[in-house]
């Protein structure tokens, strides 16, 4: 499941909406919505995200948050290490190989460490 899919499912559950009901309202298939929730489809279009926000009545911060989740929710990630150090390339490969076996505690620790790291100067 992707962060976007997790949020979408939570929104549906909080409002008691079934996948089928939401799909009909958005004029998409319930199979497509299910695939979005489970991370079997890529990022939804901006138009669909806008429709979802309208469907749930999300405004400002909540709509922006959903959009940010969609941006980081593509299930297939590519990491370009061209021009970076050998250590960066090694890290990318280790993460690709081992991400599936890391438990939630280790994932959370790594994510926290990466999110707390300094930003790259622009």
| Tens digit of each residue's pLDDT (9 = 90 or more) over 43-102 | 899 999 999 999 999 989 999 999 999 988 877 788 899 999 999 999 999 998 999 999
What is the overall mean pLDDT for the chain?
91
* Architecture of the CATH domain 3-71: Orthogonal Bundle (1.10)
Q: What percent of the chain has pLDDT over 70?
A: 98
Q: pTM of the entire structure?
A: 0.69
Coil, helix or strand at residue 48: helix
Domain map (residue ranges) of the chain: 3-71, 78-122
- What is the crossing angle of helices 3-15 and 46-56, to 10°? 30
| b/e sequence 56-90, b meaning 16+ C-beta within 10 Å | bebeeeebeebbebbeebeeeeeeeeeeeeeeeee
């Amino acid at each position: 499941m992707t962060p976007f899919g997790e949020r979408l499912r939570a929104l549906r559950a909080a409002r008691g909406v079934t996948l089928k009901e939401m799909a009909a309202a958005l004029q998409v298939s319930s199979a497509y919505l299910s695939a979005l929730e489970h991370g079997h489809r890529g990022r939804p279009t901006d138009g669909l995200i806008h429709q979802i926000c309208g469907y749930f009545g999300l405004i400002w911060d909540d709509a922006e948050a959903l959009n940010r989740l969609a941006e980081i929710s593509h299930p297939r990630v590519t990491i370009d290490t061209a021009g970076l150090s050998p250590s960066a390339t090694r890290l990318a490969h280790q993460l690709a190989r081992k991400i599936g076996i890391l438990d939630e505690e280790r994932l959370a620790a790594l994510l926290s460490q990466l999110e707390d790291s300094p930003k790259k100067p622009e």
